[in-house]
Chain A
Amino acid sequence: MSVLFGHKEHLVRMAALFGVGVVAFLVLQALLVPKGFGVYGHYRAGALEENRARPVAFAGRAACVECHSDVPEAMKGGRHEGVRCEACHGPLAAHAGDPAEKQAVRPDSRVLCARCHAANVARPARFPQVDLVEHAGKEACTGCHKAHNPLAPAPAGQPGAIDTGGTK
């Protein structure tokens, strides 16, 4: 016992050094570890918020039909009923936010329709697809088809009763 406490000074010095070490560790940890690190896991909790805090480019169908309620009506029962607005019209969150600021552009039907309906052997065989030139020459697709309901009968005065056979 006396052997141990005979060198009390050494013990105190060691304890002091240890104490300084602990304090230095805590200070460094507080300085170096970013805020929120470890709250949910081995990452900054704030990163979740940062990932969320970005503007959207596509408004989503619900926002479109708030004003354009006539379009779902026109698409009803048609082959394009399940296609959402921005699939063809492009990102329009800016338009949904302020209709005056950004206007939707009418896409070129020869380009737009071909993206899905130009014949391609890799497409599922049951998906309606045509050789564009053979099918329509240089005509715009919208000359015969209504984009919102492509197989609907042609309105009076427009060419082409559309053959609905063979597309299934």
Chain B
Amino acid sequence: MNQDRREFLARSGKLLLLTGAAQVAFEAVLRGEPEAAPNYRTTDHWWAMTIDVEKCIGCGNCVRACKEENDVPREPFYFRTWVERYHVPEGDIEHPEVDSPNGGYDGFPEKYRSGDGSKSFFVPKLCNQCAHSPCVQVCPVGATFESPDGVVLVDKTYCLGCRYCVQACPYGCRFIDPRSETVDKCSLCYHRITRGLTTACCETCPTAARVLGDLKNPKDPIHEFLRAHKVQVLKPQMATGSKTYYNGLDGSVR
């Protein structure tokens, strides 16, 4: 009798707290993994990236590696990651000169001189893996989404190619793949990081300017990096919940 009552209370409590939809979601959370994903639990990870602008040498390794790894069209203007060169006249952070020849794929031919008070530096860019992505919010069919482990992914078989998300991304990180006419973007090398590898760009960055981090892993060095440095995200005023943290980011960077 006593046992019955406890069971009844537990069940009705769950029903009260979790209405239909929420209960389905909660069960998925408890299960914690997409089907057929034996060793990787999406709920155990929350991916992020740190980029140290002061370490970037503009070699373009990340751009080349990304295109190689992810079969990105080789023509210019299709990039999952690219590197920008900023040239800021002395004190005039409102008017930087920005160039990115072929996204940095072939490196950066020298075109500035030092000694005139100006400064130049490289800024690698990629999808910021926002936790509140504008691109996800505008997708009319649910073909782009924030995965349970914090990566913004594209469902290529479900994308209509309507281009809303391309316009919605404040960071210009999306493009339409001319071969499939569907959207493509940085997936944070989801096929690699879920197998225990790092992203192709981090693997090939010679100065470790970009480092993949798992915010849910207490032993990940990303925590020490975020503590030890004054970091910033791009366009914080957009409240996108960006998880790409920049160290040494100049105010001129847009």
Contacts and interface: CB of A to CB of B under 8 A. Distances in A.
A48 B197 contact: no
A120 B112 CA distance: 8
B216 interface: no
Given A49-B36, A56-B192, A91-B65, A43 B143 contact: yes
A80 B148 CA distance: 37
Contacts of A116: 57, 59, 206
Interface of B is mostly: loop
Interface in A94-118: 114-116, 118
Contacts of A86: 65, 203-204
Q: By DSSP majority rule, is chain A's interface helix, strand, loop, or mixed?
A: loop
B34 interface: yes
Given A82-B208, A115-B59, A124 B54 contact: yes
Given A44-B155, A45-B34, A57 B68 contact: yes
Interface in B30-86: 34-37, 40, 42, 54-61, 65, 68-69, 85-86
A60 to B, nearest CB: 5
A57 B57 contact: no
Interface string A126-139: 01000000000000
Contacts of A41: 25, 142, 145-146, 148
Interface in A35-88: 36-58, 60-61, 80, 82-84, 86-88
A57 B201 CA distance: 12
B57 A58 contact: no
A40 B148 contact: yes
A122 interface: yes
A121 interface: yes
Nearest to A123: B57
A154 interface: no
Contacts of A160: none
Interface stretch (B114-122, B161-169, B230-238): B114-122
Interface of A: 34, 36-58, 60-61, 80, 82-84, 86-88, 90-91, 114-116, 118-124, 127
Given A46-B35, A47-B155, A120-B57, 11 more contacts: A37-B142, A40-B34, A43-B155, A45-B35, A51-B147, A61-B203, A80-B206, A87-B203, A118-B107, A121-B110, A124-B56
Interface of B: 24-25, 28, 34-37, 40, 42, 54-61, 65, 68-69, 85-87, 107-108, 110, 112-114, 120-122, 142-148, 153-158, 187, 190-192, 194-195, 197-198, 200, 203-208
13 contacts: A39-B28, A43-B144, A47-B155, A52-B40, A54-B191, A56-B197, A60-B203, A80-B206, A87-B203, A87-B204, A120-B110, A122-B58, A124-B55
